[in-house]
Copies of this chain bind each other. A is one copy, B any other.
Amino acid sequence: MSAVSAPAPDDRPDPAVWRVADGPLVASTGQGPLAHVRLAVKDLFAVAGQRVGAGNPAWLAEARPKTAHADAVRRLLDAGAELTGIAQTDELAFSLAGTNPHYGTPANPAAPGRITGGSSSGPAAAVARGWADLGLATDTAGSIRVPASYCGLYGWRPTHGATPDGGLLALAPSFDTAGLLAHDPVLLRTAAEALLTPGDTTAPITRCMVDEELVSLAAPEVRASFEAACRALTLRTALPLAPARTGAAEHLEEWFAAFRTVQAAEAWERHGAWITRHPGALAPDVAARFENGRRVSAAERARAEQVLSDARKALDAVLPPGTALLLPATSGPAPLADAPPEEVEAVRAATLRLTCLASLAGLPAVVAPLLRVRSLPVGLCALGARGTDRALLDFVTDSRNPAHA
């Protein structure tokens, strides 16, 4: 694992954060709700005239320049954003650490000496450092929520399918989503509107729940801060905090195993041929995850998909529209960049048990930087019903409180 990079001086782009950032790639039109907002795009989205690097030099070397922007990039540019640069990702987005052995480990300005989290490490670091205002990223198993939590940012994982995936390099298409990172909640909400299909606004969140069994998956020092943040949120929204028995905790190991099985199988389906042709191109931990996918049998995959289908129904039943389920976004704050691999893996495993619920069910999740452990940021995550992205974003990012008006 690379040591964490020191923040680069502002006059040259930090290669651990940016793959391309030599002057804005696309200027702002100066018009629209995102006029002059500086956008960092994760190196999985097509940018016209640029190659997709996917966090791996061998991939980049064979890539050809794209002739058009990915749909999500185009929508943000149409809303007035400036495309400031292309930001780094974990290799093929199949990690949650942001410790890229080829390009380095970006510094986390909110937690010095610690990782940013991944796979959206570049956009998260760029936004946290103030080099960009908005990050366009992806979340398959937590790749927006984890760096948001570790870097003290707002993050949005949309309902699966609610934002366009055209021109996006896939990892596991049943779970991949294109979403956003920002320092400022209003900017996150405004940019989300540019990505979501126009439509009626959904009914507001009127029920706010906490499942203590799920919260107990986080470290004890997270839980005290989580309780205080939940209380602040309920005071703000004037919604009581209802205890929830989602039943998720008792099924979690089975659901999680099924999610990992299908994710790995899909990842191998997309990238196995390339990986086979490029032995040694990927870092060993990432390569091992793909390799797990190669070994999944058709019968195993079918069984896992059935488990996920049942899990979705179970979660839909306990999380109707108008409901938000509150969780710590990660099991703890960002690990030290020089933590031993066993510890990194243990943190990853604990955090994936919290993040996998939204992923496996395709549900929207919004992270807000409301917890603190010692001086380190941890996110509060609100999970909502499928398709209620606007209501969930309003619930988390809007400071208007009808009860206090």
A294 on interface, CB distance cutoff 8 Å:
no
Kindly name the residue among A189, A190, A376, A399 whose own CB sees the greatest number of chain B CB atoms within 10 A: A399
A403 on interface, CB distance cutoff 8 Å:
yes
Q: Chain B residues near A36 (CB, 8 Å)? A: 235
Q: Are B403 and A33 in contact (CB under 8 A)?
A: yes
A224 on interface, CB distance cutoff 8 Å:
yes
**What is the oligomeric copy number?**
2
- Which residues of chain A from 364 to 405 have any CB-CB distance to chain B below 8 Å in the complex? 372, 374-377, 397-401, 403-404
Binary contact readout A225-269 vs B (1 if CB under 8 angstroms, 0 otherwise): 101100110011000000000000000000000000000000000
Q: Chain B residues near A33 (CB, 8 Å)? A: 403-404
Alpha-carbon distance between A109 and B372 when the two chains are bound, in angstroms: 8
Binds B, one of A93-101, A178-186, A320-328, A349-357: A178-186
A187 on interface, CB distance cutoff 8 Å:
yes
Alpha-carbon distance between A187 and B238 when the two chains are bound, in angstroms: 11
A164 on interface, CB distance cutoff 8 Å:
no
Q: Are A186 and B236 in contact (CB under 8 A)?
A: yes
A139 on interface, CB distance cutoff 8 Å:
no
Alpha-carbon distance between A232 and B134 when the two chains are bound, in angstroms: 10
A272 on interface, CB distance cutoff 8 Å:
no
User: When A and B form their complex, which 3 residue pairs have the shortest distance between CB atoms, in order from nearest?
Assistant: A130-B228, A190-B404, A399-B399
Beyond A109-B372, A187-B232, A397-B399, 18 extra complex contacts between A and B, CB < 8 Å: A10-B224, A33-B403, A110-B372, A112-B375, A129-B228, A130-B224, A130-B225, A130-B227, A133-B231, A133-B235, A184-B235, A184-B236, A186-B401, A190-B401, A375-B375, A375-B377, A399-B400, A400-B400
